[in-house]
Amino acid sequence: MHHIARSAAAATASVALIATGLTTGVGVGVASADAECQASSHGTHKSTVGRTYTYEKSVDREAANGNTVTYTLTISTSGGIPIVRKIVDFPPPGFGAPISATFTHTDPKPQTANLSPSGGGYALNGSYTVKGNNPLILQTTYLVPEGIPVGTQVTSGGMDSSGTLGIGQNMPGVTACFTVRDANAGETVTGSLDDNGLGSSDGQLSSTGSIADILGDALSRALEGLLGNLS
């Protein structure tokens, strides 16, 4: 039997967003008004070989629309050595494909995850041995659709998996909820750069000097123009 620690109620956001006056047409999973917005939840499954498997999903508690939000999915075991063949993340309705994803396994260093569409979600396929001290952890990062009102509680879909020894389980109730907040100053600057065609990678202050290159090019052109006029 599956035991779901928490199952946040979800509804299509199109109705909720229309009620707030937003008519972007983007359907986003929204927690109901009387539901508590929980950033994490978990479920368990007891296998026929007497092992207990745990499935967890968590997310940043807050995120600004037009910026990113990251979900963490974890599969662990109380014993034995099951193998996970596939783990699937289901984002909130209305979200696009992940813009990046990583996973950790026996090696604690994150590795790039190449995800593929799978039944409305995004799957990591492979062969991953799960032990007591070596869970499988998948992190997926999505762009939060613009236009969602500040204060909206956004609830994701669940998670799914397949594998050996009964570890493959569908956990639709293992969801995660975050609250949309105002963008901070740095995020606003980044968004403005994106809007002006510089691209998210060029606009990041932590990128490899791209902003400095842009400013340097602008100054160089200005100096060239000035020297040309003097000559």
- At 16-29, the pLDDT tens digits run 333 333 333 345 55
Is residue 44 within 8 Å of 53, Cβ to Cβ? yes
**140 & 216 share domain:** no
**214 & 170 share domain:** no
Output the pLDDT for position 28: 59
Range of the domain at 198: 187-230
**215 & 150 share domain:** no
76 φ, ψ (degrees, to nearest 5): -135, 170
H/E stretch holding 202: helix 200-203
The count of structural domains within the chain is 2
**167 & 70 share domain:** yes
**Cα Rg, the chain, nearest whole Å:** 22
**16 & 36 share domain:** yes
Q: Give just the sign of the alpha carbon dihedral 96, 97, 102, 106.
A: positive
State how far the Cα of 16 lies from the Cα of 225, in Å rounded to an integer: 54
**136 & 198 share domain:** no
Is residue 2 within 8 Å of 171, Cβ to Cβ? yes
- Block residue for tokens 């014993």: 79
**144 & 201 share domain:** no
Specify the pTM. 0.71
Is residue 160 within 8 Å of 122, Cβ to Cβ? no
Is residue 121 within 8 Å of 175, Cβ to Cβ? no
Is residue 109 within 8 Å of 176, Cβ to Cβ? no
**151 & 194 share domain:** no
Output the pLDDT for position 223: 55
**198 & 106 share domain:** no
Question: For residue 13, what is the domain's CATH number?
Answer: 2.60.40.1170
pLDDT by 10s per residue, the chain, length 231: 444 443 333 333 333 333 333 333 345 555 444 468 999 999 999 998 889 999 999 999 999 999 999 999 999 999 999 999 999 999 999 999 999 999 998 888 999 999 999 999 999 999 999 998 899 999 999 999 999 999 999 999 999 999 999 999 999 999 999 999 999 877 754 444 444 444 443 333 333 344 444 445 545 555 565 555 555
State how far the Cα of 176 lies from the Cα of 199, in Å rounded to an integer: 29
